[in-house]
Structure 1
């Protein structure tokens, strides 16, 4: 049994245990414990869903391979399913990769205009607005901590605080 299979099995068991605990009314008498269990359950749910999709695709691939020996029309489906299984496997591997411990932290973002005068300041203002809108769409709270504006309304520099409730703004710049 490989290490990744053991990790998946442990996560599946933890997910099932959390599902059972969250269904128990006793847990909800302690709001902090219920919130903690709910957050962990929400973290594990996409991983469990990706694993189940992968296992389903692997089963479909195995069936298609068996049927391809007697019916050539399944041969094309085998290649398609092999690609799908590889994509799902990569997706699951990415989800299981260790995260930076600072990912859930809030951030302070600083945008400076640099060389280029007023046009550079206008671009910096556009960039700051882009970050603000992106953060607001994600449900994060944005606070302008400091700003120095130019004569045309651009930013010579702007400092923003981006805070979240569980979803990570720390990793948002990594795409």
Structure 2
């Protein structure tokens, strides 16, 4: 690990020097690429230098403790040694995580798709609540959430919501939210007070540039329509909504929240490109024999990653056995109560895999 860290630090210094060269500064493509690499390396180097500093301090403190005779000074040094001995292993773990192979999509923005599954109207109501919870979470993270498409349910709520979320490391935070979310509660229309079970499917798709994906225009069926839903003043006045069907795959994309037909068309093509890229990524994973469940599944009640039990104010993530009784806080936007433990768990699993491959 430390040989790798030394090479990272050397590369960091090399990139830093390159950024100061006039020929690099005048070439915006090279400059941006190096700045991105510099920022990624800097996170590791800061940790590594802190580790080296604390390790050196620990060695010095132990030597001082051996030589020091004054009782008060010895107690102060012992306290410092204790703090350093606690901090250093934590830094080691942080460095191991920082050196894990990076998911190439981690820095990308995402398309968040939420669809009502089993459970009828109650599923639509929860789909809307889940969307609003994620939107609040995006706000607390300093991300930008933009509505792409909203299809209303029969009695309120949403049959389908598509949102674009942009910001720092959005996919790396949100990628484990994909799957079936199950909700258990008593519907407002339930006179007997019985608990109903409904499901909502969530897909987190990393955004891609349309130019990076080959899409034949002859494979597309494009039509325009009037926007629907609770949009702005232009809703239902002009045919600005765009629907695109990719004939070879049957993928259908609809975009209605843009100000013009052109902006909706561009956004719909971007969504289509992201979905086609996801299909290619899934194919590569299967070819590599990397066992992976389909991201969404059928929406059946049995295929769930998480259960939201409203009567008990309880949320359980079934993948890691995590249960918390802070349902109101999570639905209010505090998704970090679930997302942070999930990311920590999968990082730990990656470390285990890395360690087993080393032997």
TM-score range, shorter chain: 0.7 to 0.9
Secondary structure in 2 aligned to 1:109? strand
**Structure 2: segments with no counterpart, 5+ residues:** 177-338, 340-359
Candidates 30, 35, 40, aligned match of 1:38: 35
| 1:4-83 map, 5 Å | 4-69=1-66, 70=68, 72-73=74-75, 74-83=77-86
How many residue pairs were aligned? 170
More strand by share: 2
Range that drifts further, 102-111 or 88-97: 102-111
Equivalent-residue separation in structure 2 for 1:10 and 1:102 (angstroms): 24
How far apart in 2 are the matches of 1:66 and 1:152? 73
Distance 1:113 1:17 in 2: 51
Paired position in structure 2 for 1:103: 106
TM-score by length of structure 2 reads: 0.43
1:126 counterpart residue number: 129
Deviations 1:105-143 (A, max 9, x none): 443322234455555434322321232343355555534
**1:93 to partner: Cα distance:** 1.2
CA distance in 2, matches of 1:149, 1:52: 53
Superposition misfits of 4+ residues, deviation over 4 angstroms: 115-120, 136-141
Distance between the aligned counterparts of 2:132 and 2:21, measured in 1? Answer: 45
Unaligned runs of 5+ in 1: none
Distance 2:130 2:83 in 1: 41
Quote the offset at 1:163 in angstroms: 4.2
**Structure index of larger Rg:** 2
Higher normalized helix content (fraction of residues): 1
Q: Following the alignment from structure 2 to structure 1, what is the Cα–Cα distance between the partners of residues 158 and 53?
A: 52
Instruction: Answer 1 or 2: higher relative contact order, Cα 8 Å, separation at least 6.
Output: 1
> Which residue does 2:171 correspond to in 1?
170
